[in-house]
């Protein structure tokens, strides 16, 4: 990575966008890493870390898995090609992975939730898809209580040692 990219805040590898609320709203059973079909300006916008995944979800369309409602704003770097910020984006998965994921969604009523968009070591954009079951408000309160107890317990043990 050159000095220009370090100064401009471009991400060469690491997390570009994260859906932090997904792990609170859903109990994630398993995760799958999928490729993402993007255009050039979309990748540039992702490298700036400007995507939003809070309302995004993945679903099946014509036997393929697509990500819907993911917001990637237009790149403002003088690029002439425009794109729809909330356009459906195709996820790249093996056929066995697709059939397994769609089988769990149909059989058990799970949901496919995008957890984050990141760049791997080679600089390729990937999406971490979680197979999750929606939590009820009671479950969310239990999760908050358990998280608070773990934090307090760690604080107490840290004070003794």
- List pLDDT tens digits, range 77-102: 766 667 888 999 999 999 999 999 99
Question: What is residue 136's DSSP assignment?
Answer: P
Indicate the helix (H) or strand (E) that contains 143: helix 137-160
- pLDDT tens track for 1-59: 444 444 456 776 788 889 988 888 888 999 999 999 998 888 888 888 888 999 999 99
14-134 is classed CATH 2.40.280.10: yes
Do 12 and 119 contact (CB within 8 A), yes or no?
Answer: yes
Q: Within 13 A of 110's CA, how many CA atoms are on the CB side?
A: 21
Please provide the size of the chain in residues: 161
Q: Could you tell me the two tokens for 105?
A: 């969604």
How far, in Å, CA of 67 to CA of 55, rounded? 11
**Is there a contact between 119 and 126 (Cβ–Cβ < 8 Å)?**
yes
Question: Whole-angstrom Cα distance, residue 133 to residue 29?
Answer: 8
For the entire predicted model, the pTM comes to 0.78
């Amino acid at each position: 990575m050159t000095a220009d990219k370090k100064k401009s805040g471009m991400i060469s590898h690491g997390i570009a966008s994260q859906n932090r609320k997904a792990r609170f709203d859903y109990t994630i059973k398993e995760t799958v890493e999928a490729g993402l079909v993007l255009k050039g300006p979309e990748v540039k916008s992702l490298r700036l870390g400007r995507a939003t995944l809070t309302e995004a979800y993945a679903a099946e369309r014509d036997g393929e898995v697509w990500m819907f409602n993911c917001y990637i704003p237009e790149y403002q770097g003088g690029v002439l090609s425009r794109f729809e910020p909330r356009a459906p984006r195709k996820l790249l998965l093996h056929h066995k992975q697709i059939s397994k994921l769609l089988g769990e969604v149909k059989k058990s009523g799970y949901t496919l939730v995008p957890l984050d968009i990141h760049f791997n070591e080679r600089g390729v954009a990937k999406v971490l898809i979680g197979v999750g079951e929606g939590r009820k408000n009671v479950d969310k309160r239990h999760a908050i209580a358990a998280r608070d107890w773990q934090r307090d317990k760690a604080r107490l043990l840290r004070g003794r040692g």
